[in-house]
Structures are given as structure tokens and as C-alpha cells.
Amino acid sequence: MGYDVPEGVEIRGRYDEEFGGILSKDALQFVADLQREFKKDIEYAMDCRKEAQERYNNRELPGFDPATKLIRDGDWVCAAVPLPLADRRVEITGPVDRKMVINALNSGAKVFMADFEDALSPTWENLMRGQVNLRDAINGTIMFHDKGRDRVYKLNQHIATLFVRPRGWHLPEAHILIDGHPATACLVDFGLYFYHNHSLFRQTQGKGFGPFFYLPKMEHSREANIWNSVFEKAEKVAGIDKGSIRATVLIETLPAVFQMDEILHELKDHSAGLNCGRWDYIFSYIKTFQAHPDRLLPDRVQVSMTQHFMKSYSDLLIRTCHRRAVHAMGGMAAQIPIKDDPEANEAAMELVRKDKLREVEAGHDGTWAAHPGLIPTIMEVFNSRMGDTANQIQDEAVAAGACTEADLLQLPRGVRTMEGLRLNIRVGIQYLAAWLKGVGSVPLYGLMEDAATAEISRAQIWQWLKYGAYLDGDELGVKVTPSLFDRVVAEEMARIASEVGKDRFDSGRYDEACNLFSRQCLAPKLDDFLTLDAYNKIVVVV
């Protein structure tokens, strides 16, 4: 038995009859057509990323492009916001496993962003089952029987509006070959989902619009241009109106913050605003300035939205979006409710309240939560400021003032500590161990961690090692060296083993994760993405 594939397409993942419903010949032909049409454009965009990084490595700073000043200064707006997307004040995000999809859609949030990217380990099983789960959710037939709890999960009458986040342009899908080469992962995620679900989604949730997407990891408007062309082709193939598809772009790279007007302009008819992807943004700051020893960051817990460069990024995003008549979405609340410690739980919820109050008062139209337990708290904060108003797009009183390149590049203040180093190691190794076993969203130390925070941990340690940073927040002022790193890794591995227990540690992939994480931290050159190196370890070819 095997998949019925069109010419030039090879499926190297395990055969499953249920997966066959997703990997139909026509759906694969649609994906292959996208790949063939846009392959050269994608390759060029990735080459441009490398060239830009080389310039930054030669001490050039990112900034606003003089060539596109007319776009930034122009008096234009994006297409009108569709009614189903008017109110997005609280959005929940999470991977596409079956129980999560049901709980997120039932959570009381306005939107559920189903994630094929940072919250998902892209194993063949996860990807294909995720497509099945989203199809069943849109059909209204999705159910899940938790045998351990003897509980059946199914959809409520009123559910969140579904967005889907495909993987970034840089990632391959090694289980699907098109003309002998791995498919572009985001075109697989987008293509399979769109092909099977666009019609019913538009009849139900979309009310004549949709489907809706989140687009990650962009660095330049040329990448938005490719997405816009992909959307136009998909709409043409499906026979639906231009501008039916809508997408929110995550501004989660430092180069992209200087391209926000240009990105919105490229996606004009398809835009659903921008989002502050703040964890990846911190990672991108380190990555962009990897050759700048004068830009070493403090402990990652100190790089909050109150830092000047982060506040400037948020303010500029709000002003840009509202000027162009689209949503400005806030960042992730990653806290997890603490059930067995009411005092600690209240302290965590208070942090969430303060963060979300800051966002809504700054002018954000909505925000993200990682856990259903946070929804009531966040909803209360946004309701108290916005009332019955669907969004703040027309509220000029909250628009930020002028924001300069210097504001966006200012070095964050703070100190580096031994505990910061230890936390980076613990989080990085434990997340990677889970990812290698197929879990992409991991609760660790009161927070829901995904690939973005693991990337910060890895890149920050690399940066400290590369330039021999001193842990200036500690009384001893220890210098970060390879020998210190090796010693601390050994100590933290012992701590992880103690925390998770011997059986779980022995059956996990902690040693493998430790070796991979350590190798990347000690590498002479910073790898672009932690998951690119790790991806080869989860590809199973049959």
C-alpha cells in the first residue's frame, strides 16, 4: 500500500490510511504547483537573508530602507477588517494535537492559533495528525477520548476563530520530495490545510472570508511578497475572491521591525495586522549582532517589554498597524496556572495582569496566552479598557510618537548571572530533549516554553562564550569560558535527572539533547536555527 502521488512527488513518511485522506493526489499536486512556481523566489529570499547577516557581521546596523521611504510616508491603508476578525482581544496558541485543538477552541479566547511552527516538533506523525485534527475541527466532528481520565472532549457550540501558523520559509519538509528535493515546509503546511478546508471554513467561521493565517520568521518585505503571491494563486485555484485569505505577520526578527510598513504594503489585500513575537525578537537581536561584542545581553529574564528597545518595538508596531487600519497584536503570556500553590499562582497571575494592562493601555488590539487558565484574567484586563469596542484601531490617543533607529537598537540594561546561565542550560536541554521525542510545547518552571525560548537560551550562551562575558551580577564576576560551561552543564544535567526522576531521565533523550545543545553553544559560528540541526534527528524515512 502507498500514497497515490502526482508526477514528481515522493512521500517518504509512513503510510497511514487516515493520512491518505490529507495526502490526496490533488492536494499534493496543489502543493507541488506552489513549490515549482515559487521555489526560485524563496531561494533568492534566503540568499538575501545570508547577505544581510554578512553585512551585520561586518558591523553594519539594520535600519529603515531609504529606497522604500515613499511607502512609509504614503497615506494608504490595508483592506478593511472582515467582521469575523474585528474582535481579537485574547488569542490562545498551541500545537495541533487533538486534545489541544479542542480545548483551545473551547477556551473562551476569541482566536486559536493552531501552530505547525515553534510549538510543534515536526515529526511526520505530528504534522499529518495535525492536518487531520484541523480538518475534523472545521468539519465539527473532532472528538478525543482521554482513557486515563475516562473523559470525552468535543467542541462547544461557540468556539474560537481558527488561525493556522505554518512553518517558516527556511525550513524543509524532508518527508515529501518534489522533483527530487525536500518540499518547502510552509508550503506543505499551508497547501494541505488550504486545499482541504478553504470551502467549509469560509461557509462557517469565515463568513465569506478565510482561511486565516499567522506568518512567522520574516526578515524582509520580499518574503511577504512571496506569501502574497502564494495567496493570490491559491485564491485563483479555489475560485474565491482576491483578498479572501487574511494573515497576521509576526514581527519577531530585528530586521523586520524596520520593514513593517513595507510588509503590510505587500500584503495589503490579505493583511490582518502584525504581532509582537517578542521571544523570537530577543533571539533575533542576539543573532543579528552575533559579531558585535559591545551588544551582549543581560539574563533573558531581564529583557522584558519595559526595556527601551522592546517598548520602542511595541510602540512602533501599534502606530504602524493603526495607521494602516489593521490589528496590532501583543505578545505571549507564557505563565502556567500553579494549582498546588495559591500564593505562587496569584503572584504569577499578577505578572500577567500587569503585562496585559501595559499592552492594552499602549494600544494593542489583542494579545496572546499560552494556557486556557489565563484567558479569564487577560480577558478581564482587556475588557476593562476596551469595553464593548471590538478593537482600538481608530483610537489615535494611544498612538506612539516618533521612533528612531537608535530607539530600536538600544542595548538593554541589566546584568548577567550564574543563575541566568544555569537557567538557559536547563531550559535549553530539557526543551530539546522533549522536541526530539516529538513534543514542541513544554511546561518548565512555571512557563510554557517553545522553540523561541530555547533559541534565546542557546544563542545567549553562545554569545557569552564567544566574547568571554563576565557574570557581572554575581559578586565573584566569573568569566564565561568553555571549561565553566562544561562544568555547569554537568551540574545541571544532574539537577535535571533529580527533578524528572531516574526512569524518565533514562528513557528520555536528555544525553542526546545535551550533546546537541552543547555543540551549538560551543560552535565557532552561530547556527541560524537550533531546530535545523535537530531536525535531521526526527526525520524517519520509510
Task: Give the Cβ contact number of residue 410 at 10 Å.
Answer: 15
| Residue 173 host element (H or E) | strand 172-178
For Cα atoms 480, 485, 489, give the angle at the middle one, nearest 5 degrees. Answer: 150
Please state, in angstroms and rounded to a whole number, the distance separating the CA atoms of residues 84 and 245: 12
For 109, what's the count of Cα atoms within 13 Å in the CB-facing half-sphere? 29
Please state, in angstroms and rounded to a whole number, the distance separating the CA atoms of residues 385 and 394: 14
φ, ψ dihedrals at 53, nearest 5°:
-65, -35
Cβ-contact 76, 126 below 8 angstroms: no
Cβ-contact 89, 386 below 8 angstroms: yes
Cβ-contact 106, 155 below 8 angstroms: yes
Catalytic-role residue among 118, 189, 299, 450: 450
Catalytic-role residue among 165, 202, 246, 426: 165
For this structure, is 167 an active site residue? no
Residue 198 in grid coordinates: 478553504
Please state, in angstroms and rounded to a whole number, the distance separating the CA atoms of residues 260 and 224: 10
Regarding beta strands 161-165 and 442-444, do their DSSP bridges make them parallel or antiparallel, or are they unpaired?
A: unpaired
Please state, in angstroms and rounded to a whole number, the distance separating the CA atoms of residues 93 and 367: 10
In this structure, which long-range contacts are made by residues 36-43, counting pairs with CB atoms below 8 Å and at least 24 apart in sequence? 36/178, 36/179, 37/233, 38/184, 38/187, 38/226, 38/229, 38/230, 39/184, 41/226, 41/229, 42/169, 42/184, 42/226
For this structure, is 179 an active site residue? no
* Nearest Cα residue to 489 out of 463, 458, 467: 458
Residues designated catalytic = 165, 450
